[in-house]
Amino acid sequence: MADNSGSNGSQAVTLNVNESEANRNISSSSASKTSSNGGGFCVSVPFMQKLVAEMLGTYFLIFAGCAAVVVNLDKDKVVTLPGIAIVWGLAVMVLVYSVGHISGAHFNPAVTVAFATCKRFPWKQVPAYVSAQLIGATLASGTLRLMFTGHQDQFAGTMPAGSNLQTFVLEFIITFYLMFVISGVATDNRAIGELAGLAIGSTILLNVMIAGPISGASMNPARTLGPAIVHSKYDSIWVYLLATILGAISGAWVYNIIRFTDKPLREITKSGSFLKGSRNNNSI
């Protein structure tokens, strides 16, 4: 969930051939120019690794969190709200530390879009990242539905317990809070980046405790869309999609505005503590 594409992603795969080094460089340069001019679309191996990491990370996140919800519904509230909140928080924390250095550990289309608006993530990679996240969330939701196909088909998605307005405001606030924390621990050189996973996971835990009974505490379009697609339930889905994206963008920009530094904004957007090097790895 943090914007920390590591330096591992910047390594290219090189194959030795019988041509000279100069010829290989010329060929590579020509191929790059052809691709950039619309002659072709080349996806690098490191970028594919990022997409796989995002898909798997989102899969395990949605599987763990929604499994806690389903078990709680299916087994007479045995998990409880605090238990569900802990599962979501721990899942995020573990996955940030597991694949954050590979893909940045977004696992959330709202986070990806928010980073892109702040120029901390390339716009050309946004569609691929969002697609990987949605695929992971949908597969996780489908897995859970196959596993829990009893007399009760439990829906682990997000549904407003109150009005759409109440849900919209609450989702906006908690997503703003989440993205504000992510921006602080993952993009500011003065923050202790190694604790980013703990800080982000703790924020998720708190938000689920606060908003879980009212809105479902989505904070993530993929978390809402995955179960909705599998169960074909789209009631009030626009509330979650719009509120989370607007909340994430607002949270990221507010942190950038209040960030205390004597550097101009164009230099701030080129640096980060937890995710240094992401700006240097923009090739697809």
By the 8 A CB rule, do 88 and 200 touch? no
Can you read off the two tokens belonging to residue 187? 């993009």
**Per-residue pLDDT tens over the stretch 138-165:** 999 999 999 887 656 788 899 999 899 9
Q: Measured between alpha carbons, how far is 101 from 106 in angstroms, rounded to an integer? A: 11
Q: Which pair of tokens denotes residue 177?
A: 């809070």
User: How confident is the model at residue 44, as a pLDDT?
Assistant: 85
Q: Cα separation of 266 and 251, whole Å?
A: 18
pLDDT of residue 194: 82
- 241 neighbors 221 (Cβ within 8 angstroms): yes
Can you name the CATH fold of 7-280?
Glycerol uptake facilitator protein (1.20.1080)
> How many CB atoms within 10 Å of residue 129?
28
Q: What is the pLDDT of residue 253?
A: 96
Rounded Cα gap, residues 176 and 212, in angstroms: 16
SS3 for 76? coil
What helix, strand, coil percent values describe the chain, rounded to 5?
Answer: 70, 0, 30
Q: Report pLDDT for 284.
A: 60
Tell me how long the chain is: 284
Q: In this structure, which amino acid lies at residue 122? A: P
Which H, E and C letters describe 270-282, residue by residue? Answer: CCCCCCCCHHHCC
Q: What is the pTM of this model?
A: 0.78
Q: Is 88 left (phi over 0), alpha (psi -120 to 50) or beta?
A: alpha
Predicted local confidence at residue 191, as pLDDT = 72
| Short-list 272, 106, 217, 201, CA closest to 114 | 106
pLDDT given at position 36: 41
> Each residue of 27-38: b (16+ CB within 10 Å) or e?
eeeeeeeeeeee
Distance CA 251, CA 262 (A): 21
Please report, for the chain, the start and end positions of each structural domain, with discontinuous segments joined by +.
7-280
Provide block-wise average pLDDT over 10 residues at a time, the chain (284 residues). 44 37 42 41 82 97 96 90 97 95 94 95 95 97 87 82 95 98 86 85 97 95 96 94 98 89 58 45 52
- The per-residue pLDDT for 98 is 94
